[in-house]
Amino acid sequence: MHAFIRLVARDVRLTLREGGAVSTALGFYLVVVAILPLGLGPDLNLLSRIAPGVLWVALLLAALLSVERIFHNDLEDGTLEVIALGPLPLELVAAAKALAHWISIGLPLVIAAPILALLLNLPANAFWILLLTMVTGTPAISFLGSVGAALTLGLRRGGLLLALLVLPLYVPVLVFGISAMNAVITGPASFLSSYLILCALTLATVVLAPIAAAAALRLSLA
Amino acid sequence: MRLGVQDLTCVRGGRTVFENLSFEVKKGSGLQLTGANGVGKSSLLRILAGFLPPAAGRITLEGADDETPIGEFCHYVGHLNGVKRAFTVRENLLFWSEYCGGGDIDPALETFNLLDLSDIPAGLLSAGQARRLGLARLQVIERPLWLLDEPSVSLDEASRNILASAIRNHTRNGGLAIAATHLPLGVKFAHTLELGAEAH
C-alpha cells in the first residue's frame, strides 16, 4: 500500500511539474466548449438543452489528449522497467498510474466543467448534478484510457490509434452520465437509475481495466 | 543464494537467438557475458529479469521463495537509465528508495559522486552523470542479483572505477552480478560466458 501511494504521488507531482498536460487539457476543454455556441448561434434554449452532452463529450476529448502519457514517458526513459521490478504487481502499477491521471487531469477538468457550463446556459439546478456525475464518471475515463495507453505503448504516433480504441469504450459512460443529468433537467426519467449504472460502470472499470492494462504492459516490456 | 539456468531458449520474432543455454552463478561471484552484437546478451538479461518470457528452460534462484518473482530480487540496469528529467537527482533516488523500501540515499550519492549535483534537475545532467544516477540505484536498494547491460557506457575512467568497486563490494558481500559488456570493466569476474561461441 505504501508503494502504491508513493507511485501515485510521484505521477501526480510529475504531471504538475511538467505542467503542459494539465493546462493543455483545460485549454482544449475551454476552446471546444466556447466554440460551440459560436457555431450554433445564440439560442439559449437550444444551448441549455445540449449543454450536458457538449460538456461531457468535450471533457472526454480533453482527457484523451493526455491519456497517452500515462505509460509512454516511463517506457521511454526506462523508469517503467525499474517500476516493474518493484514490490507492486503490474496490475497495481497500472491502477496507480491511472489513478494519478485521474487526480492530475480528470479532477481539474471536472472542476472546470461548472464554469464552462455558464457558457452553455446550463440550468441552475443541474450544476451539482453535473459535478456529481462527472466526479463519478471520470475515473472510468482514466482507467479505460490506461488500457488504450498500454496497448499502444511503443507505437510511433499511437495517439490516433489510442483514440480509435478508447472512444467507443467511453460510450456507456457518456450515455449514462448524460442521461442522469437530463433526468434532473427535463425529467421524467429517474436520476437514480442512470446514476447507479454510471457508478457500476466506474467500479467495474476500476477493477477490470488494470488487469487488461498490465497484460498489455507485459507485452511491451518483453 | 545461487542462480541456476537450465536449457534456456530464447526466440525473438521467430528467430532463435540462443538455445539450450545452461549455467550457474554461485553466491558471491560474478559472470561476464560476452559475444558479438545480436547474440542475445541483452535478451538473456531481460529473460532473467522476467521481462521477456523464455521459449523454454528454467531459471531458479536458490534461497528465494517460489512465490516472489525473480525480478524482485534483482536490479536491472539496461540501456536506459530510468531517470526522470523533471525531478532533481535527489528526488529521483528518493523515489526509488521509498518505492522499493530501500534505505538512506546519501551514501549512494556520495559513492557515485553525485552529492554536488543532488539538487540539479536530472534533465540537465550529462550522459555520464545520468548514467551514474541510474547506477546509484544499485546501492540505494539492497538486492542480491545485479543484471547489468553495458553498465559502463558513457562513463569516464574515474566513474568506471567507482562502478568496478561497487560490483566488487557487492560480490564480496555475497551478491551475484551478471554483466554484459564489450569494454573491460576492471572487475575480475569468476565466470565468463561467451554467447554465440558454439555457432562458430
Tell me which residue range forms the domain holding A198.
Answer: 2-221
User: B191-194 and B30-34 as β-strands: parallel, antiparallel, unpaired?
Assistant: parallel
DSSP letter assigned to residue B70: G
Q: Which of A7, A14, A84 sits opposite B84 (nearest CB)?
A: A14
- Distances in Å between the Cα of A222 and the Cα atoms of A83, B57, B80, B98, B149 are 14, 17, 15, 26, 15
**pLDDT at position B200 over 50:** no
DSSP string for B101-157: T---SHHHHHHTT-GGGTTSBGGGS-HHHHHHHHHHHHHHS--SEEEEESTTTT--H
pLDDT given at position A138? 95
In chain A, which among 12-41 make CB contacts under 8 A with chain B?
14, 17-18
Question: What is the tens place of the pLDDT at every residue in A111-155?
Answer: 999 999 988 888 888 888 999 999 999 999 999 999 999 999 878
The answer to whether residue A7 neighbours chain B at the CB level (below 8 Å) is yes
Which percentage of chain A shows pLDDT scores above 90? 64
- Rounded to whole angstroms, the Cα distance separating B93 from B14 reads 39
pLDDT given at position A106? 94
Question: What is the tens place of the pLDDT at every residue in A24-66?
Answer: 999 999 999 999 888 888 888 888 888 999 999 999 999 998 8
The answer to whether residue B160 neighbours chain A at the CB level (below 8 Å) is no
Q: Is residue B91 part of a domain?
A: no
Q: Which three cell numbers stand for residue B90?
A: 535527489
| AA letter at A92 | L
Q: Which of A6, A7, A81 sits opposite B82 (nearest CB)?
A: A81
- Distances in Å between the Cα of A156 and the Cα atoms of A45, A153, A161, A162, A215 are 44, 8, 10, 11, 20
**pLDDT at position B80 over 80:** yes
Question: Do the interacting molecules here have an ipTM over 0.90?
Answer: no
Query: Domain tally for chain A?
Result: 1
Pick the closest to residue B93 from B45, B46, B125, B49 (CA basis). Answer: B125
Among B99, B125, B143, B150, which would you mutate to test the A interface (most chain A Cβ atoms within 10 Å of its Cβ)?
A: B99
Q: How far away is chain B from the Cα of A222, in angstroms, using its nearest Cα?
A: 4
- CB B137 to CB A77 under 8 A? no
The answer to whether residue B7 neighbours chain A at the CB level (below 8 Å) is no
Task: Match 457558457 to its residue by C-alpha cell.
Answer: A119
- Distances in Å between the Cα of A105 and the Cα atoms of A66, A155, B99 are 8, 23, 23
Q: Which residues of B touch A7 (CB under 8 A)?
A: 99
Q: Is residue B31 part of a domain?
A: yes
**Model confidence at B198, in pLDDT bands (50, 70, 90)?**
low
Pick the closest to residue A78 from B111, B11, B49 (CA basis). Answer: B49
Q: Which residues of B touch A84 (CB under 8 A)?
A: 51, 71
- CB B49 to CB A7 under 8 A? no
Question: What is the tens place of the pLDDT at every residue in B93-137?
Answer: 999 998 888 778 888 888 888 888 889 999 999 999 999 999 999
Q: Is residue B111 part of a domain?
A: no
The answer to whether residue B46 neighbours chain A at the CB level (below 8 Å) is yes
Tell me which residue range forms the domain holding B7.
Answer: 2-82+143-199
- Rounded to whole angstroms, the Cα distance separating A212 from A190 reads 33
Region B20-44: mean pLDDT is 88
Query: Domain tally for chain B?
Result: 1
CATH number of the domain encompassing residue B154: 3.40.50.300
Q: Is residue B6 part of a domain?
A: yes
